[in-house]
Amino acid sequence: MSDNPYEAPQSTAQATGVLSGSREDVRKVAQYQKGIIVCILIYLLAVMGQFAVPPELRLFLGLGVFVLGIVGAVFVFLLAMKTYGTALGILLGILSLVPCIGLIVLLVVNGKATNILRQNGIKVGLMGADVSSI
């Protein structure tokens, strides 16, 4: 066994951090994490962009943030279902729709996904793990 913490474990080994213990669910965690990271980045850009957008167009920006919130809630729900369970997945999905608290929920769930991926020997960068390498 290698001392490299980012080396992928044997495919026969059970995955840690996901409820099912399957390697396929670890791949799904990586995919859902990418979706959450994209939502976080777009949300931050929208918050900064509201100062550059004319007042007449802020309604469209707000609608975009609303849709982004729903997409983020779906990714949070899917990821939390794999890691925390059904009840907490529903709760976190609903909480992610609340302004300001939703961003915190996105960050917490993203951190959990990063920990799970690292526990399974997967290197995680700024934009998440490389799903094709899992």
Domain count, the chain: 1
Full domain range(s) for residue 29: 23-123
Residues constituting the chain? 134
Alpha helices for the chain (secondary structure H)? 23-49, 58-83, 86-95, 101-119
pLDDT score of 6: 53
Q: Determine, yes or no, domain membership for 8.
A: no
Q: Determine, yes or no, domain membership for 38.
A: yes
CA–CA distance, 109 with 37 (Å, rounded to integer): 10
Give per-residue pLDDT as tens, 71-119.
Answer: 989 999 999 888 888 899 899 989 988 877 888 888 888 888 889 888 8
Tell me the pTM: 0.77
Q: Determine, yes or no, domain membership for 70.
A: yes
pLDDT score of 44: 87
pLDDT score of 26: 86
CB 33 within 8 A of CB 114: yes
Give per-residue pLDDT as tens, 25-55.
Answer: 888 888 999 998 998 899 889 888 888 888 8
